[in-house]
Amino acid sequence: MTDPLHDTQPTRPPNLNEAIVDVRPEPYEPYDDGGGPGCLIWGGLGFFMVLMSAAIVLIAGMAGWSDGLKIAYSEATAEEAALIDQQCQLIVTDLNEGRFSLAQQRLISLEAMVPVVPCVATLAPQATARFLESQPTQTALPEATATTESLVTATPEPEATSSDVVNTVPTSNSPYDLDGLLTEAEQLLAEGDVMEAIDTLEAIQALDETYQKARIDQMLFNALINEAERNFRAPGGSLAEAILLTDRAAEYGDIGEMAFEREVASLYLSAQTYLNLNFGEAIRLLNSVLNLSSNYKNARSLLYGQYVAYGDALMASFSSCQAVVQYNNALQMQNDPSVGGKRDAAQTACELGQTATPGPGEGGGSTTPIAPIGVPGT
């Protein structure tokens, strides 16, 4: 074997093509940080957690709102029961004070409720009995007064010469001094004691309905109309009594404009029996009153209050869309910021779908008033 150090033979240059080694780049491998999730996964998880938090807050808020509405509904139910009890007490008061027409209206309104109020079964017979007791009996005779002006002897004795006894000749077949009673009635009218005069005139009719009939009828008519007008228009007058007096006056003649007064007063009293018990009927009747007389007593303020109370009751019963209608009706009458806030809250609840099925005559979610001002409700 030849020692390369002693080899003097020229060497052949290396073949460059053979010397080039085919070195290929290694394939790229992504950086491995230990096998954990990537940024996209962490971002998606964070977004999901945010959604879950928002959902929990929303559910908690809705639960609080629902509990609040349930509490409000319970309070409204208790308030309605208290109002019904108040109406029952007022019926007893009306019967004791002789306001039979008003008591009848209250009974009718309570009988119309479902279920029927328990006190109706007790008060209805009492009302009938008290009314019958109040009717004048045709057999009742005025008590004779032992005075020189009113003592009458039907068959005068020849020996009765005392100056304390006056023998008058009656102008009818009645043994009583009808002339004296008529004079007394005229004096009472002159003194302004109209109701006493009416009682005296009706006593004359009970004794002898033919005695100066035309004159007695005219006097009764005038007295009844005057007393009815005073009750209709005086601040402290009794509308129920005025209606009864007008009905009695109509038996003797045409009551004229008093018929209009009677109609308006009847509607007003009927509306009062439904206040806070039947909102729809109370609103309808009050609108009818305002159609006939736009400034009648406190009918306008009562109507405004019923619109607001109706909206509150509808909200308590989860009928927010219908509540919007009633709040808008109230705002048409009076721009009250507190009612405006209630309307906005009801509108929001309505848009979220917190509403019940609309009742008859109610458009679900519509803000068109059911009974615009000046137009009776249907």
Spacing of C-alpha 90 from chain mean position = 16
Kindly report, residue by residue over 132-147, the tens digit of the pLDDT.
Answer: 566 554 434 344 333 3
**pLDDT given at position 134:** 63
Can you tell me the distance from the alpha carbon of 192 to that of 188, in angstroms, rounded to the nearest whole number?
6
Can you tell me the distance from the alpha carbon of 40 to that of 45, in angstroms, rounded to the nearest whole number?
9
Contact 335, 320 (CB under 8 A): no
Can you tell me the distance from the alpha carbon of 28 to that of 313, in angstroms, rounded to the nearest whole number?
73
**pLDDT given at position 333:** 95
Q: Which two tokens stand for residue 9?
A: 């033979």
- Cis check: omega of the bond before 115, within 30 degrees of 0: yes
Kindly report, residue by residue over 60-92, the tens digit of the pLDDT.
Answer: 666 666 666 567 556 666 777 777 887 788 878
**pLDDT given at position 91:** 79
In sequence order, what are the residues at sequence separation of 6 or more whose Cβ sits closer than 8 angstroms to the Cβ of residue 214? none
**pLDDT given at position 197:** 93
Q: E strand or H helix at 145, and its extent?
A: none
Burial (CB count <10 Å: 0-12, 13-18, 19+), residue 130: middle
Can you tell me the distance from the alpha carbon of 115 to that of 7, in angstroms, rounded to the nearest whole number?
133
**pLDDT given at position 52:** 79
Residue ranges in the chain whose pLDDT is less than 70: 1-40, 42, 60-70, 72-77, 100-101, 104-105, 107-109, 111-116, 120-121, 124-125, 127-175, 354-378
Contact 330, 308 (CB under 8 A): yes
**pLDDT given at position 46:** 74
pTM: 0.49
Per-domain residue ranges for the chain? Answer: 44-133, 177-256, 263-378
Can you tell me the distance from the alpha carbon of 289 to that of 195, in angstroms, rounded to the nearest whole number?
29
Kindly report, residue by residue over 82-121, the tens digit of the pLDDT.
Answer: 778 877 888 788 778 777 667 766 766 676 665 667 786 6
